[in-house]
Structure 1
Amino acid sequence: MLLIRNGTIIDGTGKPAYKGDIFVTGGRISAIGAFPNKKADTVIDALGLTVTPGFIDVNNDSDHHLALFTNPGQSDFLAQGVTTIIGGHCGASLAPLLYGSLESVRKWANPDEVNVNWRWLPEFFRTLGTQKLGVNFGTLVGHSTIRRAIIGEDLRDLTDNELAVLKSIVWRSMSEGAL
């Protein structure tokens, strides 16, 4: 059990900050209020400090640089209060990787440093699950990654058939857990 006392709490609901205590049981917040007589295994005096929910970084490159695999603890984010990161930005994602789209990853990372043994999102999430990630992770679907899988490096509009394939891959990826 953990008790955080005397903190200025910003709870993320939009209401003004307030002074209070936070009681944590089993790794989850179990009560927020004033607990002057409550005992706990660990007590943190947060007097003069602000206590907030974890922040979400909605635009980072941890996936682009394969840092989810080479630095899974992501301590740099945690030190800033970030507990969730979202990847797949700038049109590039680590899944799905189809028909040679792995080559597009080489533009921003060296996939030879990591065993890239997935194609679709469930396989990617399973592989990611073998890491001891310090943060929560979600991913967008990289439209450029999919586009490169379909037409390579050609700079042209997609045909109707190619667009239909792209849409079906995006749809499948969304149903498999992409954001």
Structure 2
Amino acid sequence: MILRAVALLTLLALAKPAVAQEQTVLILNGRVMDGSGNPWVRADVLIQGDKIIEIGDLSDVSADDMVDATGLYVTPGFIDTHSHSGPGLATVGLSHAEPLLAMGLTTIFANPDGGGPIDLSAQRIALERDGLGVNVAQLIGHGSARSQVIGQQNRVATPAELDRMRAIVREAMDEGAWGLSSGTFYVPGNYAPPEEIEELAKVVAPYQGSYTSHHRDESTYSIGLIAAIDEVINVGRVAGIPAILTQ
């Protein structure tokens, strides 16, 4: 029952204005958390179409749908910064993302671990063809860019090859990417020295993008966990962008 209510509310909140502009939903008696870090407050939330229009004591207000949230938390939608949902969301019949909505997720970042397509415009078309139930922020994968230029070869890129990778990242950012992802734990990402990733991260900086990584080592397989974490942090420092450790 709770999952059904969460999914219903999220779907209504994300519905296109043309469909739900007149629809109103009133969530009553919830423990409202606004995402600012402040403690929760008991309040009611009124939604019209795709907008929250009032928060407070709305016990005397009526709406098309009334939901009793007594004992439950009412929060902004959760953001999944490391999601492998991209291929599924690009599949007709799955793009409405009801399982994600039932968990309270309203935004996901696609193409993690340095993977995903390099043609983000084509991916966006596939994502949107049957209607998206969640917001999707696309990343451009370092491993995908590297594979496009030098395949799976275990070697350092030449200056000309690095320029081609820069061009791929720049085009993806122009197409709306939110940042660069890498998977230096995997082939071909683990063939790249940190300097290669730093150069591509610099391309992201003017777009105010970010860098996310499945870092190079999780234990003592290669350079060690601490060194792998330091590498990710240093990429962000050198490029002047946020660095996010996703695994």
Structure 2 length normalisation: TM-score?
A: 0.59
Change (3 A) 1:69 1:127: closer
Q: Which residue of 2 aligns with 1:146?
A: 145
C-alpha contact (below 8 Å) 1:93/1:139 kept by paired residues: no
Q: Which residue of 2 aligns with 1:134?
A: 133
SS at match of 2:90: helix
SS at match of 2:155: coil
Cα displacement string for residues 83-108 of structure 1 (whole angstroms, at most 9, x for unaligned residues) = 111011111012x1xxxxxxxxxxxx
Q: Which residue of 2 aligns with 1:67?
A: 88
Cα distance, 1:37 vs structure 2: 1.0
C-alpha contact (below 8 Å) 2:95/2:127 kept by paired residues: no
Ranges of 4+ aligned residues in structure 1 off by more than 3 Å: none
Distance 1:17 1:143 in 2: 40
Cα distance, 1:54 vs structure 2: 0.6
Pick the aligned partner of 2:35 from 12, 22, 38. Answer: 12
Q: What amino acid is the match of 1:14?
A: G
The reply on whether 1:25 has 2:24 as its aligned counterpart is no
SS at match of 2:177: coil
Greater relative contact order (Cα 8 A, min sep 6): structure 1 or 2? 1
Change (3 A) 1:45 1:31: same
Distance 2:102 2:49 in 1: 22
Distance 2:123 2:103 in 1: 26
Which of the pair is proportionally richer in helix?
2
C-alpha root-mean-square deviation of aligned residues, in Å? 1.2
Distance 1:36 1:42 in 2: 14
Pick the aligned partner of 1:47 from 60, 64, 70. Answer: 70
SS at match of 2:171: helix
C-alpha contact (below 8 Å) 1:24/1:31 kept by paired residues: yes
Structure 1 length normalisation: TM-score?
A: 0.81
Q: Which residue of 2 aligns with 1:112?
A: none
Distance 2:110 2:125 in 1: 16
Distance 1:158 1:177 in 2: 26
Deviates more, 1:68-77 or 1:166-175: 68-77
Cα displacement string for residues 19-39 of structure 1 (whole angstroms, at most 9, x for unaligned residues) = 000011123111111112111
Q: What amino acid is the match of 1:170?
A: V
Distance 2:165 2:130 in 1: 30
Q: What amino acid is the match of 1:31?
A: E
**Percent of aligned pairs with the same amino acid:** 38
Cα displacement string for residues 66-96 of structure 1 (whole angstroms, at most 9, x for unaligned residues) = 21133212222111111111011111012x1
Q: Which residue of 1 aligns with 2:101?
A: 78
Cα distance, 1:123 vs structure 2: 2.8
Aligned residue pair count: 153
Q: What amino acid is the match of 1:171?
A: R
Q: What amino acid is the match of 2:78?
A: F
Cα distance, 1:124 vs structure 2: 2.3
Distance 1:18 1:80 in 2: 22
